[in-house]
Amino acid sequence: MRKENSTNTLNKQNLEKECGMSYALTTIGGRWKPAILWRLCKGKMRYSELRDAIPNVTERMLVLQLREMEKDGLIKRIVYAEVPPRVEYEMTVKGNSLRPILKSLSDWGDENRL
C-alpha cells in the first residue's frame, strides 16, 4: 500500500520534506519564470518592458508568475505613485543569490540542447 500520508497533493510543504532541490526547482521552474528571471538578471524592468521582451507571454501568466516570485521573495515589485502608473520589477538579495545557479543552468542548457 503506497500511501504514507494524507496530503497527497503537490505543495511546497511536501517538497520541503524531501529535499531542497525540489523547493528550488518549484521556485524557479514555473512556465515563464526562467524567461522573467533571465531578463531581470540584467537589471530592473517595468511591467510593459517585461511583457514586450518575452514573446508569447499573456499578461495573465506574466502577472501570475511575477506574483509567485514576489511571494517567494525572489523579486521586488516597486510601485511609483505617478500618473500614468509605473511599476518596476527587480531582483531581491535572495533572488540575486540564485544568479550563479541560473548562469550554470543556462550554460548547461546551451551546451546540451542539440
Partner DNA sequence: CAGCATCCAACACGATACTG
Partner DNA sequence: CAGTATCGTGTTGGATGCTG
Residues that bind a second copy (CB under 8 A): 2-5, 8, 10, 12, 14-16, 18-25, 27-29, 31, 34-35, 37-38, 51, 55-58, 94, 97-98, 100-102, 104-113
Residue closest to 80 by CA, chosen among 51, 50, 44, 53 = 44
- Identify which range of 7-15, 34-42, 92-100, 103-111 contacts DNA by CB under 7 A: 7-15
Helix or strand holding residue 111 (H, E):
helix 99-112
Q: Please tell me the count of residues contacting DNA according to CB under 7 A.
A: 24
Judged by beta carbon, residue 97 or residue 109, the one nearer DNA is 109
CA separation for the pair 41, 77 (Å, rounded): 15
Helices 59-71/33-40 angle, 10° precision = 70
Tell me how crowded residue 89 is: count the other CB atoms within 10 A of its CB: 20
Regarding 46 and contact with DNA (CB under 7 A), the answer is yes
CA separation for the pair 91, 48 (Å, rounded): 17
Identified binder of DNA from the candidate list 13, 16, 38, 77, rule CB under 7 A? 77
Beta carbon of residue 100, minimum distance to DNA (angstroms, whole number):
25
Q: Which does 4 bind (CB under 5 to 8 A by kind): DNA, a second copy, none?
A: a second copy
